[in-house]
Amino acid sequence: MRLLPEKLGLVINSISRGLSREAFTIPMMGVEWDIPEARPLSEEGLLSLEVMRTENEIVVSGSLDADFTVDCARCLDPVAVEVTEEINRIFSWDTEMLTDPEVEPVSHNDGTVSILDPVREAVILSIPSVPLCSPQCRGLCPRCGINRNREDCDHDAEIGSASR
């Protein structure tokens, strides 16, 4: 089985019938993730795939072992996020199966099936809705903008008394 790493495309004619398992080292910085809030933390990631090819379909499942960085929702410091969601996608040549929204058509334009979308979805689903650098994060001062985890400002007392 062959993978074009920059676009995460599995080369169709390199996938033999039956079940195949393979792990690929992919260049994290070379992939167009299109996830504005997340950036790859390391140069490489490990993409482990299990691919079942039959006469009418290619079923892909697996996982990405990689870390991304996102901004803390309170102080904007970087927060490491581990990708924990599984990857699952079905590609089919059978036009009757294409009515199922979970099934994608196999396109012969470039001889590959792209698994970029399901891998991207796994990354997005691994990002917490409110990422925090720590549960005790004090955030930014709403008046002067300093990071209150690193330094204090005179506004701390004003903000505390105004909220009472």
Residues in the chain: 164
List, for residues 92-130, the tens digit of each pLDDT value. Answer: 988 777 778 888 888 766 788 999 999 999 999 999 999
CA neighbor of 116 nearest in space, from 34, 17, 19: 34
pLDDT of residue 18: 95
Cβ–Cβ under 8 Å, residues 120 and 111: no
Domain ranges in the chain are: 3-133, 136-164
Both tokens of 154, joined, read: 């005179």
pLDDT of residue 162: 44
Number of Cα atoms under 13 Å in the Cβ half of residue 7: 9
CA neighbor of 58 nearest in space, from 114, 100, 4, 99: 114
pLDDT of residue 107: 73
Residues of the chain with pLDDT under 50: 161-164
As a dihedral over the C-alpha atoms of residue 86, residue 131, residue 42, residue 149, rounded to 10 degrees, the angle is: -160
With a CB cutoff of 8 Å and minimum separation 6, the contacts of 39 are 68, 69, 70
CA neighbor of 47 nearest in space, from 79, 29, 21: 21
With a CB cutoff of 8 Å and minimum separation 6, the contacts of 42 are 28, 66, 67
Q: Is the pTM higher than 0.75?
A: yes
pLDDT of residue 101: 80
